[in-house]
Amino acid sequence: MAVGAAGVTGADLDDLGSGLRGRLLRPGDDGYDASRAVFNGMIDRRPLAVARCADAADVVRAITFVRDHRLRLSVRAGGHNVAGSAVVDDAVMLDLTAMKALALDPATRTVRAEPGLTLAEFDAATQASGLATTLGVVSMTGIAGLTLGGGLGWLNGRHGLACDNLIAAEVATADGRLLRASADDNEDLFWGIRGGGGNFGVVTSFEYRLHPVDLVLAGGLTYPLSMAPRVLRFYDEFVKAAPDELSTAASLALSPAGEPTVSIVVCYCGPLDQGEQLLRPLRTFQSPTADSIQPTPYAALQSGGDAGFPDGRLHYWKSGYLRDLTDAAIGTLLRFVPSMPSAASGIGLQQMHGVASRVPPSATAFPHRAEQYDFLILSQWPDAAGTQRNVEWTKALFQAMRPHLEDAVYVNNLGDEGPSRVRAAYGENYPRLLAVKRTYDPDNLFRANQNIDPSTDVLPETRGPASPAPA
């Protein structure tokens, strides 16, 4: 019996299921709804089937099946991408969440990790040996999507992005091969997966370089919004002059009592006494209402913000890079914060700094290398009744901020925002990414992502004057 638009039959799906070491889930099966539910509660899509892959061979089988039956395919790892690209109506979803093997070699300070791991799982394993690498700042996020898009976290100043610490990967490609990608093997593929997202294949394992990381000097400073102009000006100058060991973020939000606040969070990953000395001016130039900076186990820092991001809330994000916290940019932010419709939302300025900012833009596919902030309006609210208000406020703030932002965006922050924003995410590396895409996925099997469409031509200009904000 036909079950899909392409005429795939139930017997075909049964064949796929019986060939997997993992399980094939169809609508109505136990686990199907859990697999299709992703972090962003705005996303409610129903795949034709879910292949819960147990290993790389399962991934290859599922890819081959999808290709041979001309179906659509999506890939789910941590399920945290706000665009919800992990799940597509009527597609076969490759659910990698069961692939969590990790092999660490303390002697070479390297680790081989499967794509189903979350940051929390990865950090727990590497910290047991006193090691870590840059990941993100909310520990339920998946290592896979994060690394493939770049990976900006608390160690970026000293150790670069997550993708800068990738030394090799195993990639299942559209033609059913399992390829090693590294500086010595399939270098073009290795270049592309460090910032080009899931466009080229399904990564079945990642190998990272690790670094000794023990206690870090970390925590936050909070001030009332009335102090924001002084605080943000001082912060901007202070962090730009800071050594690589310091990575920071600033945010504007509402306190639990509904009071607008501005906060600064820091992570210093060098000798603690030097960090204490370095941070003294930042901690004392004004009196914060709270100062929680203290020596902190790195894994505790990594999970410190988790409570603010429970699964299932509705999310709508807008993002771009901000080079300088000018008075005009600060003034725009201050106009909008008091009318933030949801107390769960926030405006984040995650600092890209030091090593991450100095990698040449063409060295990896991730092009946005500069001392700058990843500016993110992170709107989240509990149910559909709040959707219109929150989306409208987010769009209005983003529109007002556009003159202050680069025409560039972090691919992992993008929603469903159209081709010009996808080009802005890949920036000057787009032509080379297109060439890699044409080599490894000429038929665009892997298109449930911020897609590099192999059938389109390169636009002559991806940067320049800000284009109107898409939806």
Ligand X SMILES: Cc1cc2nc3c(=O)[nH]c(=O)nc-3n(C[C@H](O)[C@H](O)[C@H](O)COP(=O)(O)OP(=O)(O)OC[C@H]3O[C@@H](n4cnc5c(N)ncnc54)[C@H](O)[C@@H]3O)c2cc1C
Name the nearest CA neighbour of 443 among 199, 202, 204.
Answer: 199
Is the Cβ of residue 137 or residue 179 nearer to ligand X in the bound state?
137
Q: Which is nearer to ligand X, 16 or 163 (CB)?
A: 163
Write the DSSP string, 187-256: HHHHHHTTTSTTSS-EEEEEEEE-EE--EEEEEEEEEEGGGHHHHHHHHHHHHHTS-TTEEEEEEEEE-T
From the list 357, 317, 404, 379, the residue with the least C-alpha distance to 150 is 357
CB of 289 to ligand X, least distance (A): 25
Q: Which residues pair with 170 in a beta bridge?
A: 180, 205
Closest Cα partner for 350 from 127, 150, 79? 150
CB of 106 to ligand X, least distance (A): 25
Strands, sheet with 92-95, edge to edge from the N-terminal-most edge strand: 23-25, 49-52, 92-95, 73-76
CA distance 336 to 441: 43
Q: How far is the CB of 333 from ligand X (least distance, A)?
A: 20
Minimum CB distance to ligand X smaller for 127 or for 326: 127
Least CB distance to ligand X at residue 460 (A): 27
Q: What is the DSSP secondary structure assignment for residue 441, as one 8-state letter?
A: -
**Per-residue CA distances from 217 to 69, 145, 220, 237 (Å):** 54, 28, 10, 20
- Least Å distance, CB 253 to ligand X, is 14
For ligand X, which is the closer residue by CB, 77 or 225?
77
Closest approach of Cβ 321 to ligand X, in Å? 13
Find the shortest distance in angstroms from Cβ 242 to ligand X. Answer: 19
Pick between residue 4 and residue 116 the one whose CB is nearest to ligand X. 116
- What is the smallest separation between the CB atom of 38 and ligand X, expressed in angstroms? 6
Which residues does 345 contact at the CB level (< 8 Å), separation at least 6? 253, 254, 377, 378, 379, 380, 381, 390
- If the CB atoms of residues 125 and 161 are measured against ligand X, the closer one turns out to be 161
Of 301 and 337, nearer to ligand X (C-beta) is 301
Give the C-alpha separation, 155 to 268, whole Å: 8
- Cα separation of 168 and 241, whole Å? 33
Min dist. Cβ of residue 278 to ligand X (A): 23
Shortest distance in whole angstroms from residue 181 CB to ligand X? 11
Q: Which is nearer to ligand X, 106 or 418 (CB)?
A: 418
Instruction: Determine the Cα–Cα distance for residues 196 and 218; give it in Å rounded to an integer.
Output: 31
Which is closer to ligand X, CB of 12 or CB of 351? 351
DSSP secondary structure letters along 389-427: HHHHHHHHHHHHHGGGS-S---GGG--S--HHHHHHHHG
d(C-alpha 392, C-alpha 398), whole Å: 10
Phi, psi of 93 (to 5 degrees): -95, 125
List interacting residues with ligand X (CB under 6 A): 38-39, 75-82, 85-86, 96, 115, 136-138, 141-142, 144-146, 148-153, 197-198, 202-203, 309, 412, 448-449
Is 238 or 410 the residue whose CB approaches ligand X more closely?
410
Q: Which is nearer to ligand X, 171 or 401 (CB)?
A: 171
Closest distance to ligand X from the beta carbon of 7 (Å): 26
Question: Residue 197: what residue type?
Answer: G
Q: Which of 367, 412, 458, 445 is nearest to 199 (CA)?
A: 445
